[in-house]
Structure 1
């Protein structure tokens, strides 16, 4: 082979197939970052000896959306030496050292072909005074069965070392929310290297910085009079046969359905659980509407486990079930029972969030009543009005209120439903039923306390949960009105008992 050629045999036809891999864009981009991290790790001592101890790996990712769109990935690692070209550019050429992030010999090739029909690599190796460029045009390579590619060489400063990959005319241009997701996932995938200060990862000129969620500090929900504890614990267990797990698990201070879940690492890099795709097996987290699903998070480093060739999932074989059993045992051990606390602890959300949830629930409930009550209760308007219940409605802390008019058999009713946060109100449900007069229609006011312990435990941030309980409360109020008008004495006893029971018995675990 001539010195200005690189052999890409055997099986160049596989390059055309790589476009159809089941990649997600952040894992495809991660392949290029992996190679940079691996190159830096192999030459770290030499690079720091040359540049000083403050030298760090910098990887820049830029997307140019102007047609034809392109993506560039640049790093200041040690570059690709000429002696490594054959392995670097030949499909499935497994590297001699598979202990790092580059282990399958397919990462750069598969990710580049998945992104674009043509791409190039320009690199200058540490200690060499030449820059070399290799260009891939996949359609031509496959159709003409090209087995060698030209290497373009040019002089370079011996102190310069880098690799720049240009993906041209890319198949799907990341724009809008996809760019945000790319940043979010890449930040998570490389959070350990960024946190340690060995990697500066930049996307569109912005340095990606992982954010650590605040950990819950609170008493155990069954011991509210005891001192607050930090709900974070170290996790470590060994499977034998070289398989082990270490890391931490914790509860988020603020529940977040999108951000909870575990991140599973291998060799310092996230394999599963980046961005909004946290690893949340049902055996640990329960259903998607459970409180564990919203609060539990952590970082778990799995040693000795195999991963898929796209490095976006573990090959569990028969090990996932034992892993989950041991993990659950560690998470809920008595000295700090994370799962029990996640399920039992309740914190009031911010007022803005509470008000938004209340507004949605009130509007939906009012619309359902306005649309359906006239046909569901056609006869109650014929009965004479009754005195209002003994309770008087509070007049403070309104979160959301909706009023509407209904006509029952030529009789006008004015109904309001309201969710409040009045701390002086101890009851879950109160209502007033005011008789009609010449000047005004009959009036029914229904109020439910959002800060009642029953609501705090079961319905705060999810508008559907709040709406369901609000509809039950409205049904109880209407049922009491109907019972009174049917001649039932002491009809309010049921409501009073419900208020007492949900506070004293059903608000606790």
Structure 2
């Protein structure tokens, strides 16, 4: 085996600038590295286990905001001599392109998209050299480079690893507030592999867990007193060269980002990961109906091609629609009509809700003097007209220190927002909650932040006996979060009617 002193990057260097402009997401970009690592493990699993008793495959992705770098490492089989020669050439298709790393573009485009500089250090199982090379986009373009220098170091034959270091990160690199979303998205993409227990993925030392959702177990909606049925349909059929295998089921309860179809290929999610859910109308109907909210499933597809960054299926849309139609017909079988159950099942029956309504209207009120509603309206109008008092109350809430925070994030118009729910204890304010849009700054980036503050000392929480434990507050917090999002979106587009704000709130609270 001759030493490798150079590797070709055979491409006009100016083309690399176009990689930076690709329409992509951080999670999908990072998934390119994970694909390579997972495939290296799968290709060499027996050798890796034989080489090391108790071997556990790990991938780690560490995003160092202060150091302005990302480090991706694994203990798979490394990049061997034969593959190393083609690994750095864009679009040099792997020797076996029937696996996860099929296009030969992943590591190169991902690295340029995320950083100005990147390096690769790898040691292949069974070989005796570690290879190291680095790429600097400014030097490559300025010097019109078409080759990279490789450094080889002697290492133990049994060691095996790959480490990629991205530095001088681009504007595409993740902010601290995107990390939770990245974890969710990668957990979704690699759900099948994570469930096997053979593959561990860590993001900033936090292990990823595959999403799991409870399935409805209840009688058929027409038979309230019938036997409980697990509402899950196993799917295994084909349509010509196209195949689908997996399941479709009904959620036990409505959950944000749980409904919708997830489409996989070669064990990896292509469509439907995290926020990118798939709702073919012929199967799910219109947004907002009960079937749309409660139906979910995972389908491994065969026969379809995918886009080069694996965020969708390319071509064959007609055959995909035909397959979905065939799936719909299978879910309508009279002896197990999953769609009919999803359409008509309710968590509480009308009779149960009627009983609750009767109890609510008959519950004795506290024996205190009530202020007539007309007087309340007058008081509210007087208060709302006093702008000075309103500003004082808002300032109290704004300046109140947090006693606990719930951090989330959301995307709007190609921008990522941090969503901070601050719980405060301000007994000198009559304000129950506030919403404010701020800008958080660090050394690298400015992040817009929507802050919703909830005043736990407000008399509202003392008025009802239900507010005793932490779980008692979850529904009201969900309501305030939905109000905050509705108010935010209302500020971003013209509102024709006051009812538009209510419509926005109703839409968000369903998904919370």
2:156 and 2:63 mapped to 1: Cα distance?
27
Which residue does the alignment assign to 1:388? none
CA distance in 1, matches of 2:207, 2:134: 29
Is 2:308 aligned against 1:340?
A: no
Q: Distance in 1 between matches of 2:365 and 2:31?
A: 50
Deviation at 1:122, TM superposition (A): 0.7
* Distance (whole Å) between structure 2 residues aligned to residue 210 and residue 403 of structure 1: 53
Alignment of 1:356-435 (within 5 A): 393-395=361-363, 405-406=373-374
8 Å CA contact 1:65–1:173 kept in 2: the answer is no
Residue-by-residue CA offset, 1:138-174 (whole Å, 9 max, x unaligned): 1221232101111122232322111111111222442
Q: Secondary structure at the match of 1:58?
A: strand
Structure-2 residue corresponding to 1:61 = 61
Please tell me whether residue 119 in structure 1 is matched to residue 130 in structure 2.
no
Work out whether residues 121 and 135 of structure 1, in 8 Å CA contact, stay in contact via their aligned partners in 2.
Answer: yes
RMSD: 3.0
Bigger drift between 215-224 and 286-295 goes to: 286-295
- Match of 2:169, SS state, is coil
Match of 1:444 in 2: none
SS in 1 for 2:339: helix
Seen in structure 2, the aligned counterparts of structure 1 residues 403 and 16 have a Cα distance that, compared at 3 Å, is farther
Question: Match of 2:233?
Answer: 233
SS at match of 1:108: helix
Cα distance change, pair 64–403 in 1 and its aligned pair in 2 (3 A): farther
Look up the SS of the partner of 1:93 in the other structure. coil
Matched residue count: 369
Distance 1:59 1:110 in 2: 20
Structure 2, gaps ≥5 residues long: 379-476, 484-512
Alignment of structure 1 residues 239-254 onto 2, 5 Å? 239-240=239-240, 242-254=241-253
Conservation of the 8 A alpha-carbon contact between 2:65 and 2:176: no
The alignment's TM-score, normalised by the length of structure 1, stands at: 0.68
For residue 161 of structure 1, what is the aligned residue in structure 2?
160
Change (3 A) 1:325 1:316: farther
Question: SS in structure 2 opposite 1:246?
Answer: strand
SS in structure 2 of the partner of residue 319 of structure 1? helix
Q: CA deviation at 1:463?
A: 7.7
Which structure has the larger Rg over C-alpha atoms?
A: 1
Q: Aligned residue for 2:213?
A: 213
**Residue matched to 2:6:** 5
Q: Which moved more, 1:337-346 or 1:226-235?
A: 337-346
- Kindly provide the CA deviation profile for residues 392-431 of structure 1, in whole angstroms up to 9, marking residues without a partner as x: 9512599xxx976327xx9xxxxxxxxxxxxxxxxxxxxx
- Contact kept in structure 2, 1:257 and 1:294, CA below 8 Å: no
Secondary structure in structure 1 of the residue aligned to 2:334: coil
Shift of 1:176: 4.2
How much does 1:71 deviate?
A: 0.9
1:20 alignment partner in structure 2: 21
Change (3 A) 1:173 1:15: closer
> Do 1:243 and 1:305's aligned partners in 2 also have CA atoms closer than 8 Å?
yes
Q: In structure 2, what is the Cα distance between the partners aligned to 1:253 and 1:198?
A: 29
Task: Tell me: CA distance 1:142–1:237, structure 2 relative to 1, closer, same or farther (3 Å).
Answer: same
TM-superposed CA distance for 1:319, in Å, is 1.3
User: Could you tell me how far apart the structure 1 residues matched to 2:304 and 2:261 are?
Assistant: 17
Q: Which whole-Å CA distance do the structure 2 matches of 1:239 and 1:108 have between them?
A: 34
Counterpart for residue 89 of structure 1: 88
User: Using the alignment, how far apart are the partners of 1:393 and 1:259 within structure 2?
Assistant: 35
Tell me the residue number matched to 2:411.
none
Which secondary structure state, in structure 1, belongs to the residue aligned with residue 95 of structure 2? Answer: coil
Q: Residue 50 of structure 1 aligns with which residue?
A: 51
1:244, CA displacement in angstroms?
A: 0.6
SS at match of 1:233: strand
Q: Indicate the residue corresponding to 1:321 in structure 2.
A: 321
Question: Against the structure 1 CA distance between its residues 154 and 403, is the aligned structure 2 distance closer, same or farther, given a 3 Å change threshold?
Answer: farther
Give SS of 2:343's match: helix
CA gap 1:404/1:17 in 2 versus in 1, 3 angstroms: farther
Tell me, in whole angstroms, the C-alpha distance in 2 between the residues paired with 1:138 and 1:296: 46
Residue 395 to residue 13, structure 1, CA distance change in 2 (3 Å) = same
The answer to whether the 8 Å contact 2:192/2:210 transfers is no
Tell me how far 1:95 sits from its aligned partner. 1.1
Pair 1:3–1:228, CA change in 2 (3 A): closer
CA distance in 1, matches of 2:341, 2:262: 20
**What's the CA shift for 1:316?**
4.0
Distance 1:254 1:176 in 2: 31
Q: Does 1:287 align with 2:286?
A: yes
Structure 1: 5+ residue stretches without partners: 359-391, 411-460, 468-509
Q: CA deviation at 1:286?
A: 2.0
SS class of match (1:311)? coil
Q: Distance in 2 between matches of 1:201 and 1:463?
A: 34
SS for the counterpart of 1:297 is: strand
Q: Quick check: 1:201 aligned with 2:206?
A: no
Which residue number corresponds to residue 74 of structure 1? 73
Q: How many Å separate the matches in 2 of 1:157 and 1:72?
A: 23
Which runs of 4 or more aligned residues in structure 1 lie more than 6 Å from their structure 2 counterparts after TM superposition? 461-464
Partner of 2:191: 191
Distance 2:332 2:69 in 1: 49
Distance in structure 1 (CA, Å) of the matches to 2:365 and 2:130: 70
Distance 1:85 1:11, change over 3 A: farther
- Cα offset, 1:13, TM superposition: 3.2
SS in structure 1 at match of 2:374:
strand
Q: How far does the alpha carbon of each residue in 1:288-317 deviate from its partner, in whole angstroms, 9 at most, with x for none?
A: 211122211111000121000000111242
Question: Separation in 2 of the partners of 1:397 and 1:258?
Answer: 40
Residue-by-residue CA offset, 1:93-117 (whole Å, 9 max, x unaligned): 0112111101101011111111111
* 15 and 228 in structure 1: CA distance in 2 versus 1, 3 angstrom threshold: same
